[in-house]
């Protein structure tokens, strides 16, 4: 029996979840809107807002799950990767909380947790499967052999897919974070209106910096001819950029699926909330006979439920850490 309280604070979301014997009974997420004024996450501000949010978010999670502190059996937390100042708030709080309540501590890798989010709800993938993890900081194809036995078989050489979305949004004068807005505009645009080059990277790795430059020049050249080019074509530009990013992502997944002879394909991370990616993945699946796994929206972007479920599997293995544990901005996979 386990009742695990989990804390996620790797970037700009303060989140606390509770996992009762493998079932998520609370998942509270406090977003930080302050960064919208700056066009990106300001680490120092993120850390300060985590400090303000952490206690009320914990209290709300306990209320939602209808459990008392006394009923908890462990505290799980994101150790890394992420912004050090942000991680420090969650890690320090988890350590003091565990010390005060005499509970074991469970350290979780944020990138493992994005993948283990698939084990929150049915249908759950069976091992081995391939997972495309696409977030603001990472783009990876991961061969998942077991809950904590994972191998990165492809990753980005420069920008992450989320960055490609967000940087494009910035070029289009959309507010931060622009990824979800591109998604919204793309729904009413023509994905074949404009064509962008697909990077020629060998193997299973990605590169998005060339695409960003191509978009930048494309907008600059068109604005010279028509200063209203962006506003008059926003939906078509968004749909075309999204189409490019999604196809770059999925063509490599197709390659990996062939190479590893795996037909169970999952997606994880913030960008897996993207409608274009979800729809195109369904089309690939139909054509190639894949079984596809996509988490619910709320478990795609940063959340503590994924930390809690990862904590649940570590609790079963009794994989605990001591009070000497420290956060780490870069973490071994
Ligand atoms: O996993 P996540 O919440 O945080 C990180 O660990 O990075 O991912 C955030 C990223 C951002 O780049 C955001 O723009 C992108 O996910 N994102 C989306 C969508 N929702 C979030 N990108 C495209 N379409 C979306 N619907
Ligand atoms: Zn994330």
In a domain, 330, yes or no: no
Ligand 2 centroid to 263 CA: how many Å?
25
Ligand 2 centroid to 109 CA: how many Å?
10
Task: Using pLDDT thresholds of 50, 70 and 90, give the confidence band for residue 254.
Answer: very high
Distance of alpha carbon 330 from alpha carbon 174, whole angstroms? 30
Mutate-to-test residue for ligand 1 from 30, 81, 174, 179, highest number of ligand atoms within 8 A of CB: 179
Map residue 295 onto helix, strand or coil.
coil
Q: Are residues 40 and 175 in the same domain?
A: no
In a domain, 289, yes or no: yes
Distance of alpha carbon 212 from alpha carbon 172, whole angstroms? 12
In a domain, 329, yes or no: no
Give the domain range for residue 289. 122-294
In a domain, 272, yes or no: yes
Q: Are residues 79 and 157 in the same domain?
A: no
The pLDDT tens digits for 139-186 are: 999 999 999 999 999 999 999 999 999 999 999 999 988 999 999 999
Closest C-alpha residue for ligand 1 atom 13? 179
Q: Are residues 108 and 156 in the same domain?
A: no
Q: Are residues 209 and 180 in the same domain?
A: yes
Ligand 1 site, residue 168, Cβ cutoff 6 A:
no
Closest C-alpha residue for ligand 1 atom 22? 179
Q: Are residues 160 and 256 in the same domain?
A: yes
Mutate-to-test residue for ligand 1 from 117, 301, 306, 331, highest number of ligand atoms within 8 A of CB: 301
Q: How many domains does the chain have?
A: 2
Q: Give the ligand 1 atom nearest the CA of 10.
A: 6
Q: Are 239 and 185 in contact (CB under 8 A)?
A: yes
**Using N-to-C axis directions, what is the helix angle for 229-260 and 209-225, rounded to 10°?**
160
CATH number of the domain to which 192 belongs = 3.30.420.40
State the virtual CA torsion across 310, 312, 306, 259 in degrees, nearest 10. Answer: 40
Q: Are 113 and 148 in contact (CB under 8 A)?
A: no
Q: Are residues 148 and 225 in the same domain?
A: yes
Map residue 74 onto helix, strand or coil.
strand
Residue in this structure with the two tokens 């993945």, named with its chain if needed: 281
Q: Name the residue among 83, 138, 120 with its Cα closest to residue 269.
A: 138
Average pLDDT, the chain: 96
In a domain, 324, yes or no: no
Q: Give the ligand 1 atom nearest the CA of 13.
A: 3
The pLDDT tens digits for 15-59 are: 999 999 999 999 999 988 887 877 778 888 888 989 999 999 999
Q: Are residues 96 and 142 in the same domain?
A: no
Ligand 1 site, residue 40, Cβ cutoff 6 A:
no
Ligand 1 site, residue 274, Cβ cutoff 6 A:
yes
The pLDDT tens digits for 279-317 are: 999 999 999 999 999 999 899 999 999 999 999 999 999
């Amino acid at each position: 029996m386990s009742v695990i309280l989990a804390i996620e604070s790797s970037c700009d979301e303060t989140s606390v979840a509770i996992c009762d014997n493998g079932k998520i009974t609370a998942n509270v997420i406090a977003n930080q809107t302050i960064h919208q004024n700056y066009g990106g996450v300001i680490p120092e501000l993120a850390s300060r807002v985590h400090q303000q949010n952490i206690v009320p978010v914990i209290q709300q999670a306990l209320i939602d799950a209808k459990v008392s502190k006394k009923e908890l059996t462990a505290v799980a937390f994101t150790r890394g990767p992420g912004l050090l100042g942000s991680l420090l708030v969650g890690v320090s709080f988890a350590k003091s909380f565990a010390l005060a309540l005499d509970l074991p501590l469970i350290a979780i890798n944020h990138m493992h947790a994005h993948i283990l989010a698939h084990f929150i709800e049915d249908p759950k993938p069976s091992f081995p499967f391939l997972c495309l993890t696409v977030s603001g900081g990472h783009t990876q194809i991961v061969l998942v052999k077991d809950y904590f036995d994972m191998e990165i078989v492809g990753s980005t050489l420069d920008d992450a897919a989320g960055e490609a979305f967000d940087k494009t949004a910035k070029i289009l004068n959309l507010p931060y974070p622009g990824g979800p807005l591109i998604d919204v505009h793309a729904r009413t645009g023509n994905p074949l209106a404009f064509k962008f080059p697909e990077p020629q990277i060998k193997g299973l790795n990605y590169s998005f910096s060339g695409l960003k430059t191509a978009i930048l020049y494309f907008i600059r050249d068109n604005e010279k001819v028509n200063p209203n080019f962006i506003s008059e074509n926003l939906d078509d530009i968004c749909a075309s950029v999204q189409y490019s990013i999604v196809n770059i992502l999925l063509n490599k997944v197709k390659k990996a699926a062939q190479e590893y002879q795996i037909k169970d394909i999952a997606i994880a991370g913030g960008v897996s909330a993207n409608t274009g990616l979800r729809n195109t993945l369904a089309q690939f699946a139909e054509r190639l006979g894949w079984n596809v796994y996509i988490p619910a929206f709320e478990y795609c972007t940063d959340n503590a439920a994924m930390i809690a479920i990862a904590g649940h599997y570590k609790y079963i293995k009794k994989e605990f850490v001591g009070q000497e544990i420290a956060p780490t901005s870069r973490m071994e996979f």
